[in-house]
A and B are shown apart, each in its own frame.
Chain A
Amino acid sequence: MEIPYTVEIRRDTGLTNGKIGIWLFLASEVMLFGALFASYILIRTGAPVWPRGDTILNVPLATFNTIVLISSSVTMVMAWASLKRNRFGTFRMYMGATILLGATFLVVKYFEYSHKFELGLFPSTSNFLALYFTLTGLHMLHVIGGMAVNAYFWGPGAKLWKTNPEWFTNRVEHSGLFWHFVDLVWIFLFPTLYLL
């Protein structure tokens, strides 16, 4: 038995099932990070003093990471666009680049974290650091999740291209929507934590 509208679009909604699914998932993700940002506001406004982010955190590294993530969003779109143009080899290249850029982000984050630990700055040190580690930590989990899905489509999942290229292209698009969301969260996190 097959489920309809996995590949073809339902006429009256103009959507495939997967497209609705991923947008709904992103809506719930907005609520997740929304709650965390709201907590940030509540705790910060209740604090007698609050450090400027750049006095504790490394702004140049984070700027570099911002550029890395935005570039990875670009390569992600290129990967999907290559499939649309029926160029599987180019897709592999761009998808590989997306995964590598994600990995770069994680490596930079690793150095940032370990540097903080060396200085004796832990989540328990202050509420600023608690928020920093919780928000970026949860974001990092999302990066890892996105990379895992992308790696699957780069590797074993790509088999689907041979049997059902349209479905595969849709799946890459959905994975891309998630990846852009992860990128977007970082674009909010960067100024909130590092600059304000």
Chain B
Amino acid sequence: MSDPAAVAPPKTHGAHEAHHEELGFWRKYVFSTDHKVIGIQYAVTGLLFLLFGFSLMMLMRWNLAYPGAALPLLGKILGDSRMPGGTMLPEFYNELGAMHGTIMVFMGVVPLAVGGFGNFVLPLQIGAPDMAFPRLNMLSYWSFFLGGVTMLVSFFVPGGSAQSGWTSYAPLAVIASTGQTVWLFGMVFLITSSLLGAINFIATTIQLRAKGLTFMRFPFFVWAQFVTAFLLLLAFPPLEAAAFMQLMDRLAGTSFFLPSGLVVSGQVLTNAGGGNPLLWQHLFWFLAHPEVYVLILPAMGIVAEIIANNTRKPLWGYRSMVYSLIFLGFMSFIVWAHHMFMTGMGTAMAAFFQTTTMIISIPSVVILTALIISLWGGSIRFNTPMLFACGFLPMFGIGGLTGLPLGLNVTDIPLHDTYYVIAHFHYVVAPGTIFALFAGIYYWYPKATGRKMSETLGKIHFAGSFVCMNVVFMPMFIMGLAGVSRRLYDGGAGYAFAQPVLHWNIVSSWGAWALGLFQLPFIFNFFWSIWKGEKAEDNAWQATTIEWAAAPSPPPHGNFHVAPEAYRGPYEYSVPGAARDFVPQCEA
């Protein structure tokens, strides 16, 4: 470690750390400006929302497996307005569906992947004392929290929560009940939170990286968060604009998304008309396609860290991975309309967007291939984080490859409205991204708490989740190829052609409930290990990156006793001639 006086500009790193004043409970744990506390707040809130969003789905799976059957016990609790006599109303099913999507994407995965891991890990990995704007960071969390509460409140307004899908397509969403208005306000809070967070991540990465930490010495995780932040920064505002316009349509009677002569329940709407429903879809997907990469890039970053660490080898093709990541970021802004092949927007548009979609699959394949080749010839340590990271590779592979037919206009049209699409993107996000997030939790837990999570429980969690995820989603490919629509609240029971594949609904549902059970070891492990987990060293995984090599576990306020400096690339594992099988970035 170098002399602190030699580190000229960040002279404030270590100096104040030793004698800063003790903060009270509220400032330390609730309204904290410390990126580590905020990261943990984000992560825990995100995990709770993931659990809640998953519970909504487990409820929906009941009606899909046993349409019209009364749900014992829980059906009574939910009351007559939702489940009279224990049987689910279609409107309630729609509420659950819309909110499942909204919660999982905007309140679960993104806050955990970006808000949680980004906040906790990124400043530590670049050797920064905190984020560039700590108060903005706190504001960003509380804006997210407010958005989350708003969304939860929407279940209790008259007519229930939003029911028009997580995409809120107009004109359906414009004429929906009050819950949709609450949804829109909730989204404005969530978007604001993401914008503030994105500004903070970019400024922190550019400005606060340690001396000697050039961009090509960044751990891949930092690159992933950096590109993700740009996507959030530039893709979210158009959705904010769209949300304002939909609010105007709903509250001020404008017709941005209402065409002329729209007939609802046999009556012609009195609106001025002249609006364009496709405008909503364009603005929505202009966000929501980059959003897909917001979901997947941090996951790739986490997996890259864990694979390098546990193969004890440098990442294979680090530079091509970084270039692919940047290219992926750019391309993600010009593929959005491949979600809209069914809308009749025209063959010229479709041709353009299917071309860009085929192009964007190349960098994704480059990154995944580089990760797989990285395993080659390594003496792999199969601990829990590594198991989840290895689980990510084939699951994301399945999700990605099954997306190719959806990116082509001709094959998308028969598949688009079927369960095939549900299976495809859930393979990307559920056993893909969420496995990577679990991997990240097991990996960085010792940094946050100073203790490791139980390996035994972790392995049970992994094995159970891995099997159940496939039991849930694989049948959906079969049902989708048989043509079963993904938008039916009875799971297709009303259609003759769906009868031969209907039994897969039951398999899928039991898979989902079993998946729920297999999360119990994780939940127990998460809390139990805080107090009873095996004590971990500062560098619990013998890693090379700065957060492990230079910061104590858990890191103090200000993170480092001495400001770290970077002398080499991020993954110097098994260097011939070195004393140990890892050479930390910050060791001269």
- A-to-B contact residues, CB < 8 Å: 1-5, 8, 10-11, 13, 15-17, 20-21, 24-25, 27-29, 31-36, 39, 42-43, 46-47, 122-127, 130, 133-134, 138
Contact code string B229-252 (vs A, CB < 8 Å = 1, else 0) = 000011111101110110010001
Are B271 and A43 within 8 A (Cβ)? no
| Residue pair B253, A28 in contact (C-beta under 8 Å) | no
Chain B residues within 8 Å of chain A by Cβ, number: 52
B-side contacts of A8, CB under 8 Å? 9
Taking the nearest CB of chain A, how far is it from the CB of B200, in angstroms? 8
Residues of B within 8 A of A4 (CB): 9-13, 129, 207-208
A123–B254 CB distance below 8 A: yes
Rounded to whole Å, the gap between the CB of A101 and the closest CB of chain B is 26
Q: Which residues of B contact A (CB under 8 A)?
A: 9-13, 16-17, 20, 129-134, 136, 195, 198-200, 202-203, 206-208, 233-238, 240-242, 244-245, 248, 252-256, 271-272, 274-276, 279, 282-283, 286, 557-558
Q: For B131, what are the chain A residues with a Cβ–Cβ distance below 8 Å?
A: 3
Given contacts A3-B130, A28-B233, contact A134 B244 (CB under 8 A): yes
- Secondary structure at the B interface, as helix, strand, loop or mixed, is helix
Q: Is the CB of B256 within 8 A of A127?
A: yes
B207 near A17 (CB under 8 angstroms)? yes
Given contacts A43-B256, A43-B276, A127-B254, contact A134 B248 (CB under 8 A): yes
Q: Residues of A contacting B245 with CB < 8 Å?
A: 36, 39, 134
A3 to B241, CA, bound (A): 33
Give, as a whole number of angstroms, the nearest-CB distance from B316 to chain A.
Answer: 29
Kindly provide the distance from the CB of B16 to the nearest chain A CB, expressed in whole angstroms. 5
In the complex, what residues of A have CB within 8 A of residue B253's CB? Answer: 122-124
Known contacts A1-B20, A5-B9; is-contact A17 B256 (Cβ 8 Å)? no
Interchain CB contact under 8 A, B248 and A123: yes
Chain B residue nearest to A22 (CB atoms) is B199
Name the B residues within 8 Å of A123 (CB-CB). Answer: 248, 252-254
Q: Tell me which of A11, A15, A46, A122 contacts B9 (CB under 8 A).
A: A11
**Sample of 7 further A-B pairs with CB below 8 A, known A4-B9, A10-B9, A21-B199:** A20-B132, A31-B233, A32-B238, A36-B241, A43-B279, A124-B271, A130-B256
Query: Residue among A2, A11, A28, A125 with the most chain B CB within 10 A?
Result: A28
**A47 to B259 alpha-carbon distance, docked (Å):** 11
Which residue of chain B lies nearest to A125 when distances are taken between CB atoms in the complex?
B272
Q: Which residue of A lies closest to B202 (CB)?
A: A24
